[in-house]
A and B are shown apart, each in its own frame.
Chain A
């Protein structure tokens, strides 16, 4: 189970806009916003080092202290830069401890499937699961043991053992993982030297030679 919540100090943010936010990021801060519970939207800044450390440890719920007022918030969205290295912005939603929330939790498969000895390869289709649970019950990770999976075995969402109080929101018939045999790749025929294969042009009528070939092929059918 995840830590109940983590304390972090935030400051109200007056300046808005991309340039002001860039200045904040250069100063080692991350812009963010708090909303929800039909209260006012508050723009804030947070210390980047502290925030990133907590996010990397999978913290979902924070106690944000802003100007003498502490609010319990849930991380709603984290925006990263194009390389996925820097945190650009964080969205927080106000929550109370007795509230049910929808959240995405990582899904991990444990063990080596028995079917791998028969030439199968384990394919994980879903690596994150959308669940509904109480704020205090948010799991860090959902694990599933795949060591008994044979060749062509499939695990659906309904087959997962979820912790008490946690309910999956996705289709129960959705495939989580399967053990499938790897087929040899078909080698496509190589075009003859000098003859570069060209794709078909949409909307272009075939030329006379091509039309004749096409008609002959249809006759054969």
Chain B
């Protein structure tokens, strides 16, 4: 089942603006390799789940996958053939907002070639351009 929050303060939210680049969550933190987005977008809970399934089927029981994004934002929609007005539609699905630089998925416990192939499968399920990144060790 796709991810969604357990408790929320408000059922519906406004669309909002997605400006700028990722200033947090833009480094590989938990795994050794990651999938970083190069675009700003909403990633739906279904797309995240599709990515997870694609990677875990490829990795089978090898290694470990981390999902670094969570769909906190509800998106509402109006039913088909409904006239405009009569208030905001009902929540339909949940999305995560990603900005250029956000590391969405991470992999550990596998070699680089396997991680690349696993994350390439995830990238196919994403609505954004992505790039494969490796962990960078701090010099300082």
Indicate whether B9 reaches chain A with its CB closer than 8 angstroms: yes
Indicate whether B113 reaches chain A with its CB closer than 8 angstroms: no
CB-based contact A200/B26 at 8 Å: no
CB-based contact A190/B36 at 8 Å: no
Indicate whether A84 reaches chain B with its CB closer than 8 angstroms: yes
CA–CA, A203 to B9, complex, Å? 7
CB-based contact A82/B100 at 8 Å: yes
Task: From known contacts A188-B1, A201-B9, infer whether A84 and B136 are also in contact, taking CB-CB under 8 Å.
Answer: yes
* Majority DSSP secondary structure for residues of A touching B: loop
The chain B residue sitting closest to A83, CB to CB, is B101
Task: From known contacts A84-B27, A196-B92, A203-B9, infer whether A121 and B139 are also in contact, taking CB-CB under 8 Å.
Answer: no
CB-based contact A82/B101 at 8 Å: yes
CB-based contact B137/A121 at 8 Å: no
Task: From known contacts A84-B26, A123-B109, A189-B1, infer whether A198 and B11 are also in contact, taking CB-CB under 8 Å.
Answer: yes
The chain A residue sitting closest to B131, CB to CB, is A83
Residues of the A chain whose Cβ atoms lie less than 8 Å from the Cβ of B21: 81-83
A 42-71 binary contact with B (CB < 8 Å = 1; else 0): 000000000000010011100000000000
Indicate whether B86 reaches chain A with its CB closer than 8 angstroms: no
CB-based contact A82/B138 at 8 Å: no
Indicate whether A214 reaches chain B with its CB closer than 8 angstroms: no
Task: From known contacts A124-B108, A201-B10, infer whether A82 and B22 are also in contact, taking CB-CB under 8 Å.
Answer: yes
Indicate whether B112 reaches chain A with its CB closer than 8 angstroms: no
CB-based contact A77/B140 at 8 Å: yes
Could you tell me which residues of chain B, from 31 to 50, have a CB within 8 Å of some CB in chain A?
Answer: 32, 36, 38
Could you tell me which residues of chain A, from 82 to 134, have a CB within 8 Å of some CB in chain B?
Answer: 82-84, 91, 103-104, 106, 119, 121-124, 127-128
Number of residues from A at the complex interface, CB < 8 A: 38
The chain A residue sitting closest to B102, CB to CB, is A82
CB-based contact B139/A58 at 8 Å: yes
Residues of the A chain whose Cβ atoms lie less than 8 Å from the Cβ of B83: none
Tell me, rounded to whole Å, the shortest Cβ–Cβ distance linking B34 to chain A. Answer: 10
CB-based contact A202/B140 at 8 Å: no
CB-based contact A202/B1 at 8 Å: no
Indicate whether B127 reaches chain A with its CB closer than 8 angstroms: no
A-B contacts besides A82-B99, A106-B137, 17 pairs, CB < 8 Å:
A81-B101, A82-B22, A82-B23, A84-B26, A84-B36, A84-B136, A121-B61, A123-B109, A127-B32, A127-B137, A128-B137, A196-B91, A197-B1, A200-B6, A201-B8, A202-B7, A202-B9
A and B contact pairs by CB, cutoff 8 A, 21 listed: A55-B139, A58-B137, A59-B139, A74-B140, A81-B101, A82-B23, A83-B131, A84-B26, A84-B27, A84-B36, A104-B138, A122-B109, A123-B64, A124-B32, A124-B108, A127-B32, A196-B92, A201-B7, A202-B7, A202-B8, A203-B9
